[in-house]
Amino acid sequence: MGKQNIFDNPEFFKGYIQLRETGNSYNEVLEQPAIHSLLPASLEGLEILDLGCGAGHFAKYCVNKGANRVEGVDLSENMLRLANRLNSHPQIVYKQIAVEDVHFTEDSFDLVVSSLVFHYIQDYKSLLKKVHSWLKPGGSLVFSCEHPVATARKEQGWIMDGKANKLYWPVDDYGDETERQFHWFVDGVKKYHRKVSTLINELLDTGFRIRRVLEPEPTLETLERRVDLVEAIRRPTFIVIRAAKD
Amino acid sequence: MGKQNIFDNPEFFKGYIQLRETGNSYNEVLEQPAIHSLLPASLEGLEILDLGCGAGHFAKYCVNKGANRVEGVDLSENMLRLANRLNSHPQIVYKQIAVEDVHFTEDSFDLVVSSLVFHYIQDYKSLLKKVHSWLKPGGSLVFSCEHPVATARKEQGWIMDGKANKLYWPVDDYGDETERQFHWFVDGVKKYHRKVSTLINELLDTGFRIRRVLEPEPTLETLERRVDLVEAIRRPTFIVIRAAKD
Distance from the Cα of residue A35 to its chain's centroid? 9
**Which range among A14-28, A30-44, A106-120, B87-101 shows the weakest confidence by mean pLDDT?**
A14-28
Residues of B in contact with A167 (CB under 8 A): 170, 172
Helices A124-134 & A196-206 angle (0-180, nearest 10): 40
Quick: pLDDT tens for B171-225: 999 999 999 998 777 777 899 999 999 999 999 999 999 999 999 999 988 898 8
Assigned CATH topology for domain B6-146+177-245: Rossmann fold (3.40.50)
Gap from B231 CA to chain A (nearest CA, Å) = 9
Q: Who's near A155: CB < 8 A, 6+ residues apart?
A: none
Query: Of chain A residues 165-204, which have a CB less than 8 A from chain B?
Result: 167-176, 195-197, 200-201, 204
Residues A100-116 have a mean pLDDT of: 97
Closest residue of B to A169, CA-based?
B171
Gap from B167 CA to chain A (nearest CA, Å) = 8
In this prediction, residue A2 carries a pLDDT of 55
Q: What sign does the CA torsion over B146, B149, B154, B157 have?
A: negative
Backbone angles phi, psi at B125, to 5 degrees: -60, -45
- Which sequence spans correspond to the domains of chain B? 6-146+177-245
Closest residue of A to B155, CA-based?
A168
Residues of B in contact with A217 (CB under 8 A): 175
In this prediction, residue B200 carries a pLDDT of 98
Q: Return the percentage of chain B with pLDDT > 90, whole number.
A: 79
pLDDT reading at A117 higher than 90: yes
Backbone angles phi, psi at A183, to 5 degrees: -95, 120
Quick: pLDDT tens for B64-119: 999 999 999 999 999 999 999 999 999 999 999 999 999 999 999 999 999 999 99
Closest residue of B to A207, CA-based?
B211
Quick: pLDDT tens for B109-163: 999 999 999 999 999 999 999 999 999 999 999 999 999 999 999 998 999 998 9
Q: What sign does the CA torsion over B31, B34, B35, B36 have?
A: positive
Task: Give the best residue of B149, B159, B219 to mutate against chain A (max A CB count within 10 A).
Answer: B149
Q: Which CATH superfamily is domain A6-245 in?
A: Vaccinia Virus protein VP39 (3.40.50.150)
Global confidence as pTM: 0.94
In this prediction, residue B2 carries a pLDDT of 55
- Residue A159 forms contact with B (CB below 8 Å): yes
Gap from A135 CA to chain B (nearest CA, Å) = 20
Q: What sign does the CA torsion over B59, B64, B65, B71 have?
A: positive
Name the strand (E) or helix (H) holding B143. strand B135-146
Bridge partners of B245? B208
For residues A103 and A94, what is the distance between their CA atoms, to the nearest angstrom?
A: 13
Segments in chain A forming alpha helices (H) = 10-21, 26, 32-37, 57-64, 77-86, 124-134, 148-151, 196-206, 220-225, 231-234
Contact at CB, A174 and B215, closer than 8 angstroms = yes
How much is the ipTM here? 0.93
pLDDT reading at A30 higher than 90: yes
If one compares A182 and B83, the residue with the highest pLDDT of the two is B83
B113, B119, B121, B127: CA torsion to nearest 10: 40
Name the strand (E) or helix (H) holding B126. helix B124-134
